[in-house]
Amino acid sequence: MASQKIPAPILKIREIIKDVRLDARTGKMPQAVLKRVVSCMECVGDGRVQGMIVYPLPYLLLLAFLAVLSGAGGWGDMEDFSTAYKTKLNGIFPQYKRIGVPSHDTFRRVFGIISPEDLQRATAEFLVQEIGQMKKVLGIDDGGLRHLGLDGKEQNGTGRKYGTSQKVANLQTLHCYDITNGICLHSVPIDGKTNEIPVAQKLLSAMCLKNCVVTFDAMNTQKDTVKTIVGGGGHYVGGLKGNQQLFHEEVALFFSDAELAGIMRTM
């Protein structure tokens, strides 16, 4: 990624910590950080049969999260990591001390049940929290409002169906980016029976928009979308094209060259 595309606060963090060296073999596990991981993972829905659960989902997801960060490439690696670090984690989470180590089959089954959207949301929330903590500790003040962006993407070539005359639409996904922190918060698939407008409104209604500016293209410049953002305490900047004909004409008249010249003369 080119440096000019990295958000300024992230560049500041990278510059400050570039010379820091950590040794995971001798360093202590960051208790507060790990507890925040577990707290964020509590929002992930657990589809297992209640009363038959041995390993609480937040703890199991924590193990998987740490294992992947340590280079785990499969379910067996997650089991090996859990075995190696069980004693250290017991000191941080004594409530899980009597629980054994999840097997590779347990990791596989659980990840086949949980919602990928829930897991993505929880992981993104944790990352946003940690970036906020780092800014606070390092004395970085990015000031102002948090910038969120909505953007629908179509994956070209995915709609082809060889050997038939049937038309299959390309895959489409609506993304919500935390542009301030350089994180994709949500990626929601859009099926062929709908479009991104209602999906965007549903997504925004479930988000905390206080102290945020949400930007979007002309497609999402809709009254209900704006109402959702304002109702959530947020601000918005939307594109405007001919799909909102009367509104577009009014704005074009108000921001005409002649109007601008008149405004400038009064300043």
Q: Is a pLDDT exceeding 70 seen at residue 21?
A: no
Residue 201 has pLDDT above 80, yes or no: yes
Query: What CATH class does 142-156+169-262 carry?
Result: alpha beta
pLDDT value for 233: 92
Lowest mean pLDDT among 11-25, 219-233, 248-262: 11-25
Helix (H) or strand (E) holding 97: none
What does the alpha-carbon distance between residue 152 and residue 199 come to, in Å, rounded to a whole number? Answer: 10
Give the containing element (helix H, strand E) for 264.
helix 257-265
Place of tokens 């939307």: 238
* CATH 3.30.420.10 intervals, the chain: 142-156+169-262
| Cα–Cα nearest to 83, from 95, 99, 61 | 99
Tokens of 85: 């670090």
Name the band, by pLDDT with cuts 50, 70 and 90, for residue 215. Answer: very high
pLDDT tens, position by position, 129-144: 888 777 777 777 766 7
Mean per-residue pLDDT of the chain: 82
Cα–Cα distance measured from residue 203 to residue 221, given in angstroms and rounded to the nearest whole number: 15
pLDDT digits (tens, 9 = 90+) for 50-106: 888 889 999 999 999 989 988 888 999 999 999 998 888 888 888 888 888 999 999
Neighbours of 28 (CB within 10 A): 8
- Tell me, yes or no, if the pTM score tops 0.85: no
Q: Does the pLDDT value for residue 159 go beyond 70? A: no
Q: What is the DSSP letter of 139?
A: T
What are the tokens at 23? 């040794």
Write the pLDDT tens digit of every residue in 27-45. 567 788 888 888 889 989 9
What would you report as the CA-atom Rg of the chain, rounded to the nearest whole angstrom? 24
| Rounded average pLDDT over 194-207 | 86
